[in-house]
Structure 1
Amino acid sequence: MDINCIIVKGTENTTCFMAEKTKVATEYETWSRLDAIVLQWIYGTISNDLLHTILKPNTSASQAWTALENIFQDNQSTRVVYLDSKFVSMRLDHHPNISSYCQAMKMLVMGFIHKNFPMCSCKP
């Protein structure tokens, strides 16, 4: 039994069902309000170009987030090419010391690892 149930002789199940229905409605209202807050935060923090790309009626925060995620994951191959070219063109004489050079190389490698990019083994 739920503590919100009003026990009336002969109508216990009906009364509890109504209390559960009210509880579910209240939880849904709370969820809807929080979803709207998160959705407004997403809309408020992205550029207008991105906003117009993902803006659709009756969209949940999860759907908007997934749409943004898909936009940015579509450029994954471009990002790999960019990081690879930076890695290949990294030169020691562009850094004040070996420590700075190694740190820059490490940051590029971490860019590959952090993004779960595939590592190409096709170069000699």
Structure 2
Amino acid sequence: MSSSVSTASSLFAGPDVTLVHDFNIHERVPVVLDQSTASYSTWRQYFSLVFREYLLHGHVDGTVDSSLMVNDEEWMILDTTIIRWFYLTISKDLFHTVEDDDDAYAVWTKLNGLFTDNKLQRQVLLHGEFYGWQQLDSSTDDFCMRLKKLADELRDLGETAGDELLISTLTAGLNEDFGNVASNLTLIPEPTFAKVVAYLKLEERRMKMVRTRATHTALTTGTHRGPVPPQPLMRNATWHGF
């Protein structure tokens, strides 16, 4: 048993426990994982960065058998710390779903599975929302951000929505205020989704300025004209014949 533990320990080159045990996970993962919001891709990406930065990937990728590490005090402390991070960054409903798992790998696997299982059904739902997403009265920023989140969710299921598809879907969903602007998107050199979003934000800002200026001009013109003076009453005239 000791040789197995020694071998497993030698494969794991983890960080010093004191480096990660007490840091604020909310500063590194500033999002709460929730099944009712499009938060999974962002949550997973932030945690992936933490695992890479602090060499913790062995706790969640299955390359190290945690059952062989029960006598490794530092490993167990780090594994428990990671589980605590998960619990602090997920919704209450998800917490009750995974709270009985005994190691970080099991918790990580179950949480990911909740968002990637039932792949076909999720793809059908996401396709409908992605291709039918309309701006309506929302701001350009909110509209584009939601479209990007839907694309990220599709990517999590193995379906990549590239810049060309994102731009096409975005253009089709713009409200009527951007009717003339949409035709100018083809003039952007080497267009990317990020470039198009930046352009639309500038146009939205310009249109707001135009509307504000028009409103100000109308109010100023009305003030300069002043009130219309009342017309004098006409007295009844008496006609004298000749």
Quick one: which of 112, 125, 132 aligns to 1:69? Answer: 112
| SS of corresponding position for 2:72 | helix
CA-to-partner distance for each residue in 1:72-95, whole Å, 9 max, x for gaps? 11243333112321344357x969
1:85 alignment counterpart = 128
Measure the CA separation in 2 of the matches of 1:85 and 1:53.
28
Amino acid at match of 1:85: G
CA gap of 1:113–1:48, structure 2 versus 1, over 3 A, is closer
Q: Which has the higher helix share?
A: 1
Deviation at 1:71, TM superposition (A): 1.3
Superposition map of 1:26-105 within 5 A? 28-56=72-100, 59-89=102-132
Measure the CA separation in 2 of the matches of 1:111 and 1:47.
18
Measure the CA separation in 1 of the matches of 2:108 and 2:152.
25
Measure the CA separation in 2 of the matches of 1:114 and 1:74.
11
Q: Cα RMSD between the aligned structures?
A: 3.8
Deviation at 1:63, TM superposition (A): 0.8
Measure the CA separation in 1 of the matches of 2:122 and 2:92.
23
Quick one: which of 145, 154, 160 aligns to 1:112? Answer: 154
CA gap of 1:73–1:115, structure 2 versus 1, over 3 A, is closer
CA gap of 1:84–1:32, structure 2 versus 1, over 3 A, is same
| SS of corresponding position for 1:38 | helix
Unaligned runs of 5+ in 2: 11-68, 138-143, 161-242
Deviation at 1:113, TM superposition (A): 4.2
Q: Which has the higher contact order (CA 8 A, sep 6+)?
A: 2
Deviation at 1:115, TM superposition (A): 3.3
CA gap of 1:113–1:68, structure 2 versus 1, over 3 A, is closer
CA gap of 1:53–1:84, structure 2 versus 1, over 3 A, is same
Deviation at 1:114, TM superposition (A): 5.2
CA-to-partner distance for each residue in 1:31-51, whole Å, 9 max, x for gaps? 000111111111111112111
Measure the CA separation in 2 of the matches of 1:44 and 1:94.
36
Greater C-alpha Rg = 2
TM-score by length of 1: 0.51
Measure the CA separation in 1 of the matches of 2:97 and 2:80.
18
Unaligned runs of 5+ in 1: 1-16, 96-102, 119-124
TM-score by length of 2: 0.29
**Count of residues in correspondence between the two structures:** 90
